[in-house]
Structures are given as C-alpha cells and as structure tokens.
Structure 1
Amino acid sequence: MGIDRLIHLKNLKSLIAGLLAIAAVVVCLNIYYVTSLKNSMEEETDRYLGEISRHAASMIDYRVESGFQTLRTTARSLHLFDDEEEMRDYLKVVSEENGFSRITFIDPEGNGYTSDGTQIDTQNEGIGKALRGEENVSNVFVAVDGKNSVFYSVPVYGPGGEVAGVLAGTSSIETLENILSVESFGGEGFSQIVDYDGNYIVRSENKNAIRGYDNYFTMIEENGTLEQGGTIAEIREKISEDKSGTFRFASYTDGGDRAVIYISLAVPEWYLFSVVPTAVAGAQTQMAITLSITISCVMVALFIVVLFLLYYTYRRSNERLEHIAFVDPVTGGASRLKFELEAEELIRGAAPDTYAMISLDIQKFKLINDSFGSEKGDRTLRYIAKVLERETGHNELSARISGDTFSLLLKNTSPKELGLRLDHIAEEINSFNLTGENKYILPVMQGVYIVDDPALNMIVIQDRANVARKGNKDSSGRFVSRVFYSDLERLRMVREKEISDKMEQALKNREFVVYLQPKYELEHDSIAGAEALVRWDDPEKGMVFPGEFIPVLERNGYIVELDFYVFEEICRMLRRWIDSGEKPVPVSVNLSRAHLKHPDFMERFRRVWEKYNIPADLLEIELTETLVFENIEALISIIDQIHQIGFTCSLDDFGSGYSSLNMLKDVPVDVLKLDRAFFRGEISERGKRVVEGVIDLSKKLGMGTVAEGVEHIGQVEFLRKAHCDMVQGFVFSKPVSTAEFEKLIFGRESADKEP
C-alpha cells in the first residue's frame, strides 16, 4: 500500500506538473496573443485615425490655398484704383464673395485701407513678412467683430516688380473649425491645429479635449506622460522636418489614455493633431483581454474557447471601428470617407478611362423636407441609397456625399451605354411613385467625368464631376439631365483663367472695341438709334466674341469695369460726332446685374456723362428682364436714378421670363425690347396675336417698342402693321464697327478727334 501510495503521489505530482506546464503554456500563449492583439488594434486605430487626419489635412490645405489665390488675384487688380473709396468698395465685394470678414491694403508706409472701414494694426508680424515678399498666415487673434480670426497676407507688386504694399484678408477660423468638426469614432475623436511651438491655432470643443491651456505641449507635460512615440523634443524635431507620426500619452486629468497622430499642413509651422481616446478605439479589445486572462487561469480545457472568443471579439471590435468611420448615419450605406478611400484604390489600380465618376444631385429636394418633414426626407435618402447600391456591380461604388448629393463610381463603357445605364438609375429612383395618385418626380442632375488620369487627386476627380453637374443648365423637368466633363471643359476652364489674368491689362490697353447694331425706325425707314456691343481685339488671339469672355467677366466681377469702359467709349464717340457737326442718334448700353451690389453705382455713370457734356437723351441704359426677378425694389430705385440724370431706360429680353406682364405695372421703363425668341422662324398666328397685344399694351403705357433678332422681311412687314416702333436684327444690319456705322448714318466717317 505504501508503494502504491507513493506511486500515486508521484503520478499526481507529474499530473499536476503537467497541468501546470500546460497552464503556463496556455497563459504564455494567451499573454503573447493578447499583446499581439493589442498591438494590432493600436495599428488599426492608427491607420483609421491617419486616414481621417489626412483627409482633414487636405481639406484645410485646399481652403488655405483658396484664400491665398483670392488675395493674389485681387492684388493684381489694385493698380486700377486711384481713389481710396473705389478701392474700399472693390475690396468689400471681394471679401463678401470669398468668405473674408474684411480685406485690407497696407502701403509700405503703414497706411491701411480696409473693406469695412475698421482700424487695423499695421504692425502685425504677418504684414511685415508680406512687405518682405513672403506670403503667410498669422496666428489666431480676436478680430474687430469679436471672432477668432487669422490674417492671410500677400505682397502687392508694383510695375517694376517691387513690393508696393500688402493685401491682407481677415478670415474667421470658423471655416477651419467646420472642417475639423467632422466627427470620428462616434464623436469621441477630434482634431486640432497647433504651431511648431505647440500653441493652439484652432482648438477643439470636443468633450475629450483637455481645456485650460494655450499650448498643446505644455498640456501634455503638466497633465500626462508620454508612453509611446518619443519625447516632446523628438516629436518637435520630426514635425520640424515635415514628418508625420503617432504617439500616446496618459492624462492625469481624467485618467484616460489617448492616441495622437500629427501631420504637417501646407501653412508653414501649422500641424494637425488628431486625437482619439484609446479606451474608445479598443473598448471591445480590452474586454476580450480581461476575459481571456480569466478563462486561461481557470482551466486548460477552455483554451480553444478562449482563442475563439478573442478572435470573435477582435472581429466585432474591428467592425465597430469600421461602422463608426465608414457608415453614413442617414442612409446606413457607405460614408463619404469610405467611398473616397475605396474609389481611390480602385482608380489607382486601373487603366485610364476604366472608370467614370458621377456626381448625382436630387433637384428641389428641400421641397420634400418642407412638405413632408425631415423624417420623410431621410427615408427618401435611404431609398435612393439602396437603389444606387442595387444598381452598382462588382468593383463599383456609391455613397451619399452630403445633403441630397450622391457619388457613383461606375465602370466606363461607351457614352451611349453609360448614358442608358444612368437613365435607368434615374428611372429606378422615381419608380416607387410613378403609379401613385399624387405622384411627384425627383429630377436627377448628373455630372460625369471619365477618369482619364488615374493619378489625379480624389478631390480633383470629384471636383470635375461636380463641375460638369453644376454646369448643367437643363431645367426641362425630366427624370434626368446629364453633362459630361470633357477635355473641352478643361480647356474652357484654362481659357477662363487666361481671360481673367489678361483682363486688367486688356482694359488698360483699350483692347475692347465697341460695335454698334443699328435700330431701324419703321415709320420713316431710317436709322434712329443703335445698341452698343463689345468685341475683344486680343493682340495674341485676334478678335474674341462676347460669348467667350462675357460669362467669365460676369463670374469674376470684371463685367462692372467693362460696362463703365463701354459707356465712356460711347460718350467719347457721341462727343466726337457733335464736335464734327453730325446729328447723332441715341445709343443704348447694357447694364450688368453685378452693378446691383453697389447701390450708388449710377453716380459713376453720372460723372462720366458730365465729363463729356453730351445731351442726356442720347444715352439709353438697357436692363435685362432677369434683373427684375432678383430685386425689383432695387431695380425701381435704379430706374429712378437713370431718369433723374436724364437718360432713357429700356427693358431688354422682354418675354424671356414668365412674369413679364405682371412686372410692367411696377417697372417704369421707357422702352420694351421684345425678346428674339418671338421671331425665331415663322411666327405662328397665335404668336402674332401675343406680339400685337404686347405692342398695344406698351403704347397704352407710354412705352416705345423695339423688336430684337428680326431676320426676315416678312417679320418686318408684320411688325410695321402692328405699329412696332423700331427693329433691330440681321434683316437690316449685323453689328458693325463705329466707322462702318458712321458710313451708314452719315455717309462718311466722322472726323477723328478726341474731346
């Protein structure tokens, strides 16, 4: 018995030793696995945080560069203004249209002209740098309006290339704050901008941000310890070399650990610090770690179960992170971030012209929210997202980008096949409601860019699709309207920029040439007036017609200066006719809607008129019908000013809109110009009755009438019988140079002498 007991004890000890050894192995394996899992999750956290940070950094860099570009363009225009008030008005327009609270010009002596008349500190360090020829962005300061702002400063160069001053734009940091306000990790993650010394440029109001400090590095030193990523000195050395990196620190304030990634921005000494509490990023992982350690200490038999639970939990944690970052909160589909990351990967790995990027916008979607409520609107957005997801195939993507705008990445086929596919998608979006009793249509506007250069930045690729969509002028009310972004569009944009860059010098060199189109009085069969038109005689390109440069000038604001230029040329011409002993006829000049931004603009017209001292009734100001719909009260005030000076006033393009007759009771113009749409082709009997009615109504209101775009003699005879006063069109004469017009009206060129 004693020997048996000894053998039993020996076997028991061996068993216990074996079990302990197995348990030790299991524990070691679990410790190793848990450590690896923790490192893996940290890497995953860093990767997700890095992707979000790089996206935010690119948006910030794009916004800053846009601010600089606006100031550079404006700086090249300042030499046109000799008068401080005119310069201030110009700067005010630029600041309002480009998101600056004010724009300031400072000359080398420190004199400042602000767009809003406020006082500024001309000793600002950024202004000093710009005077030395260095573009820069200042640190944050409190502006006059009480908002935290930054200064964008660029040098203004004189004719000899010397620095003749500084143009500084004050911009609220709200724009940068909005870019950084995009939530990550369910609202737990946040981003902040600091300078090289650690001072905050833009701080976050996120609940996890530690407050009470103006310096990020001081906050770390006094509120925590660095656990990974090196010392503060090492971190500063990396950012000084424009390197990105990560580090982690534990906070004394709330006991939380934080993961941080830093990226240098385009602004020198600006850096983006993106932060997420590690407890949020790895909450599920920590639970798995605790559970695995507990189970491994209980019994070896649960070893496989523990491994399974760890693996399962790891997958769940990963899915949670992906859901937070990559799922759209409204539609439940792919988020914008996920779309951009996956689209970039697909495009980079494909040949040119493999993919088409489509920007898709639901027109007048606000009516759904207004009529049925936001909940119905959200349900509609979810429905559209499901349709798009259903209609995309392998290696194709769809996502809601913002509001009611979606993006699609589809495989490219022929233009016809791709168009049919996009038509089908629009029909599917509307299919739910086509058989309803009170059906309504969701018009779909599409912009398509065939990705011919896979190396382009995703922002550029999406912008080209957006440019095509926004260039879509189709308002026919169909299911779908579509515009392709082509190389012609790119060349158009290049040409627009070329026109904008040349405009100042072209005006200065008087490259714009006035043409006149005669107005024929039907009662006496004679030329009784003319409309002033403009051509651009470009020394390099030759004669450029208005359709190419007028839209560009309307967008960049130079149309105002061109209007004044044409008006003065006409005044100079009329003065020359009078001095030559000729009997002049009235000339009409067009007025752009851009003038409405300057309530006192007519005063400048008055000064030019007084300079040449010509009879006021020889000048007619033409207003387009579209001006009426923008601000009828302002328009009536302008017409009153025109009449006070003594000019006559005409309403151009009458009949191109839908409220023409209604506005006649309010708008006291002298002449109605019937839109050329009335006279395209043969006029129907119904059309004739409309034209006769408008002419008769004009007579009763004491207004003259001019028919534009008349090309056939039969139309002239009809208008003569209808008692139309004047006709303007190719049936009598195309627009001609002033010399040709003088031969038409005087039988010879007028003496060429300046007033």
Structure 2
Amino acid sequence: MVSYISEIKLKQGLRKVSAISVISLLLLSLFAFATFKVVSYVYNSSNSSELEAAISEYAITIKRKAQGEMRALRTLAMFTTKSDDITKTYSAVGTDNIPFEVVGFWNLDGSCEQVSISGARTDSHYMNLPSQVKVAISAAWLGRSAVSAPYYSPTIGSDILTYVAPVHATSGNVMGALSGVVSQSSFDNTLEQLSMVNQGLDTFLCTASGYIFSRGVNGILPRDTKYIADFKAFEGRTQDQIKAGLASKNPVHIETTINDKSFLITLTPLGFSDWYIGTISSNEFTQSPYFKSIMILIVSLVVIFTLCAFIAIYLFISMKSSYKTQLLIAHYDPVTSAYNYQKFLLEFSNIDYRTNTNSSYSVVSLNIHDFSYIQDVLGETQTDELLRIIARELRERDSVMMFCHHELDQFILMLRLRDQAEVDAEVRRIMELCCRHINIEVSTIPIVMYAGVAFTYPDLTPEKIVSRADFAKKQVSKSYTHAVRFYDENAYKKEAFLHSIEKSMRNALKNEEFKLFLQPKIDLATGKVYAAEALVRWISDSDVIVYPNDFIPLFEQNGFCTELDLYMFDKACARIRYYLDNGVEPIYYSINQTKLLIFQKGYTDKLRAIINKYNIPPKYLVIEVLEDLATHNVNELNNRINELKSLGLSIALDDFGSGYSSLNIVAGLDIDEIKFDREFLLAEDPEQIKKNHMILRVLSKLAKELGIRTVVEGVERNEDVEFLKSIDCDLAQGYYYDRPIPVEAFDKKYIFTDRDEIPPVKPLQAPADAPDAAAGASTDADAEAPAAAAADADAAVPAAQPEAQDATQDQPQEQSSGK
C-alpha cells in the first residue's frame, strides 16, 4: 500500500533541511578555523616535550645496545684465556649471537691476535693502535671494562668503536684483555627509525667534543660535517650554546635560525661514555608533518558535510516522486545500482534450487582486503567508483546469475557453476578483471580480493548458505594475495569445537575436570626421582581426555590460562601438604606459569595466599617461566623473580634454546634452574647432533659456573642419558624414564613404594596461625645443593624404569608451554 505524501510538508521539510544545512556549514567553517588555531597552539606548546620523550626513548635504546654489546664481550671473556679460545667460542655460541666484526686477545706485553667473524686471523701490537684504542686497552689491563672513543679505520673504511673487557686468570689476576670491534653503522638504523617516526628530523650521535660518528636521516645537517660546531649555518651564539650543551649532564634545547627559518636543536646525554644524541627539527607549525594532515582533515570534513547536505536535499526532493522511486531505493544499492542484501535474499528464495535436483549453483562472498585503508587513501568519491567498477564487471559475466552489494566492500554473488575447479577459476578470473580495470580507471593502488564459496543444498535456507560462504571467507581474511576458500565442514566443526571448549571451560574448572598429571625429573647422579613437572589434562565427566594441544592455545588467547595456572599451583600445593600429612619428605614440584599471570597485578599475593592456605614450606615449589619472557624486558622479569624468591620459591627458565637464545639471558636473570629445550636431543642428522652436544656442553658449563641447576627434557634414548652424565648435567626428563601420568599413579609408582595402597587424602585443616609464606621459607631452601636437598626423599624413591618404548602410543608429546 502506497502512503500519501503531503507536498506542503515536503516543502516545509525542505526549507528546514536547507536552513539547517547552511547553518551547519557556517558552524563547520567556524569549527575548522577554531580547530586550526587550537592545534597550532597545542603543537607549539607540546612539540618540545613530545620530541624530548621520543628522543629519550631512542637514547635508552642506543644505551641498551651499547651496554648489551659490552655485556656480550664480558661473557665471551669468561670463556677466553688465549687467542685460540676465540674460534672455539665462535663455534660453540654461534656467530649470529656475537655482535662484533673482529675480536682480539691482547696480551700484557702488547701483542695481539685478532679473529674476524669469517675466521681470518691477523696480528697486531699495542704500539700500532690509535690513541683512542690504547686508552681503552690500558683500562682493561687495569681491570676495568671500557669503550674507545670513535675513530676512523682505514681497513674497514668507516668509523668504528672498540669495546674492551679484562680477561682474568684462575687466580683472579688480569692476564690480558679481550676487544670487540663494532662499526658505527650499527647505530645508524636506530637513528634512521627516529627520523622516520618524526619526519623532517635530523639525527646524529656525537661525543662531548662534538665529533659526529653516526647519522640518521639528515636533510639539514650536511653529511660531510665532522664536528657539529663546524656547521657554518650556526651563528656564533648558537655554537657557544652547543659547546655548553655538550658539557651538560641534562638534555639541552637550543633555538636557532637557519635560512630565516626557526629550528630547534636538542642535545641529550646517553649516560654511556661521553656520547650524546642530537637532533635538528623545524620549530614552525606550518612546516610540521601534522599541518598538511590537519588541513586535509578540515577540508575533507567540509567537503563531506557539503556533499551530505546536498544529498539530503536531493533525497528530500525525490520523496515527491512516485512509489516506484521509493521502491528503487528500498531494493537497490545507491552506489552500485546492484541489489541490496534484502532484495538478494528475496530473489534467492525464489530460485528453484530447493525443488530442482539438477540445479547447479554456488554462492560467493567477495571482499577487498584492507578496504578501510583504501577508503582513507582514495577518498569517498574514488572508492565509490571502485565499487561501481566491480559491479560493472559482475554484470558482464555470464556465469554470474545475480549479485548484491552489502556492507561497504562486500559483494555476494550467485554463480551458475557447481564444479569446485570451475568455480575457483571463475572467481579468480573475476578478481583479476576487477583489479585490472580499477588500476586503469581509478588508481594504481594494489587491490587484493578474497572470497568464500558455499554450494546450494535443498535443505538450507538462503541465509544459511550465505553464512557458510562468509565462514569460508573468514579463513582467508588475512591473506595478502588473491584467495578463494570453499566451505569446509571439518573447519566449521573445529571452530564449533573451540567455541564449545571456551563455553564450558569455567564450569570445567569449577567441577575440577582439569586433572594434575606428573612427569618425573631424574637425578642423573643417583638415578632417582628428584622432582616432578606438574602438567594438566582435561578429563570430562564422560572420561574423554582433552590434551593441552587442543585447549592451551585458546586459553592463552582469551586469558583463561591465568585462572588455570593458579588452579594448578593450588593442586601442587595440596599434594605437598598430602605428603607432609603422611610423613613423607616431598619431592620438588615444577609448575609452569604463563606470561599473562606472571605480570598480573597481585600475582605474588595470590601465590602467598595459596601457600598459607596449605601451610607448606615453599622451598618445594619451582616456578617455570618461558625463555621468551626474558627477551622482552629482563629488568621487569627480574623484579617479578625477586618477588617470587622472597616467598621462598625457586625459579626455572623453561624451554631454553627454543626461541631467541643468548648468553645474556642466562647471565641477566636471577634463576635457580635452567631447562634446555627437547630440540637439543631430537636431532637426527649426525652433524647437527654434534653441534647440539657442543652447545649443551658449553651452556651446562656456564650454568655450573653461575650456580644454576640444569635440566634437559626430551630424553628418550640411553645414549642421551650417557651424554648428559658426561657433561655433568643435574636432571633429566623424558619418555626414557616415564610419560606424564595421573598423580595417584605417580605416587604409587615413585613415592609410596613400600605400601600396598596409597593413603587417602585427609580434609584440609586450616592452621590456627598460618605462617607468612616468606617466613616459611628457611634459609637453607636457597642454599641446598640439588642432590643434598632431596637425599632423604630419594632414599625411599626407587630408580626410575625406562618406559620410552610405548610412551608415545598413549598420548602426544608435551607442548613447549609446559602445560
């Protein structure tokens, strides 16, 4: 039924729309002017502080890089007693972990043999060195690490720096010095990043004398300028201010004029040697990279609002036309003149695919990758033209029965094809044709399209078929090349399975469906159980086991792993209480904790509460943290480690070697145990096995010297055990000894070996006055040696029997997460 439309009301409404549009344009113009003034004021008042913050961040980065290279050299010096040791260290550590181009060993008589990363050896002497290097080597001979002032090397052909660290004999006396050469170009990338983030910013590194030894992007300061004070564009007063700034311990800002334009010079001390990071930037708002963006934004707002106003007026006038026009607007997309989504579903439902068994149709959901970015680059007008080109190409394809434009960049097509190969080829052909014409008629910006395909079935509604195509499309939404994905029932069921896991995880935790499994850690010196790693299995009420591989990645994404980790810590504490209640000396329990939980506020208090709940000595608990946590922020991680150790807990670094492994990680963390990744023992190539054994030998020796207990997982063969004994490794874990088993089976096999049945679990009795967790950790908890600490416990624990032959048949290997 067509409703009556009053022409008088339309005219009145039209006048109101026109008046509102004019007033809005005036207000928008005032807003644009006010925005410009406010932004200009804010920029001029905050530019200095924002720039200082950015420079400070990069200054810290450069300082950490220099300090990290110095720590790396000190670590190398621990393994070097003569020049021949350098080549051995290269082989053991790997050249990728050594930041120096050349490493030299300087004897006290001034002689030296230098070895490059490529293995080339050269001899040198103290007397032939530049004065900058002599000063640094002399300091190292006196027992102090030092870095030379930058100097030009004719051999390398660029400015270089030399780090020098003392080499101590067994007696503690200095027996020589170890030097490492780094090219100044290694600092250029950091400076270039600072320039790229802050467009129009000149950056450089210099010494207190003003000598420039590293540069970023320089458009103002000539690249051949050796000393900052030599830049002729600086006036005498500016040069005096620069000299004073290079003597200051705090950042200095200097305003100057170059070619009648205002610039800001900033000199910031790095706090490392006598280095400064310097910048030169425009001090005029109209020259800033924000000015043009603000103007484009303001103009875009005016243009868009003007277009919207005229479109509103046009639509209002069109309301006086016939019902046909209203119907056209209701059923067709105004940009592409294609069906809209509701019209498409209406026409879809009228097709005979439900009654005609010979019908051959497929539905395609087609999208453009990063369409929002394309909109920002091209603007509204060109984006609409892009969509119209796609609609035009679809109209011209005989295979396309009908289509609609839906939600920005989405097109839904119905093809007269059903063979998967033919559909795939046709959809890709459509993608190529659309991209080719867009690049010719609109813009050369790269266009990438992706699509999902679902076939029609009589028992499925149009909405369900489109939903299947959308689901298939989501599987390739992150592809950066043209991609076509067909609906896969198995993939759908997998997503549904993950959804069901996420839906039931909290009830499972409440119902204690997550079970504690244990895998023994064997003391290689005695062959007895020293500790056990706590692992989790999800066993539902129907006795179906869900392994960590199926739910841990999901829990790490949605954050539920934090609750599960605390739950497992509680279960481990309860088991230690159980041992104590039955007069048995507990073994050590290793519990993995995720990154999300370790850095969670109040984490330490939560562990303290659980320990107090069970009133147990915390010395029996070992918290395992993954190696990749240490690669982000060692200082922050150490702070958390110290908090945990204040409770009396021990800390283990898990899966060492699986990610970014370096000596700095071990040297920089206050840990009690290091657990080497299973990959060290799983290699099959003889040459790789030899390399892995060499690395394990060196790392084990380093851990011993640092007083860190060593564990190797993935032990599956007797030859693995013999090798680990030969390098004096402390503990071994793997299927050679036992697979992860339920806690009751573990106790029966390893703990209560002299009893026919294991004792029942007693109800938890809350202590009248529970001791503080920190107080409960006796001083000997940290001082005990691995073998001595478990001497009494091991006396009642039988030697572990190898079970590697059938372990892998029962359940999959543990993930590196340790769950």
State the TM-score, normalizing by the size of structure 1.
Answer: 0.46
State the TM-score, normalizing by the size of structure 2.
Answer: 0.43
Q: Which has the higher contact order (CA 8 A, sep 6+)?
A: 2
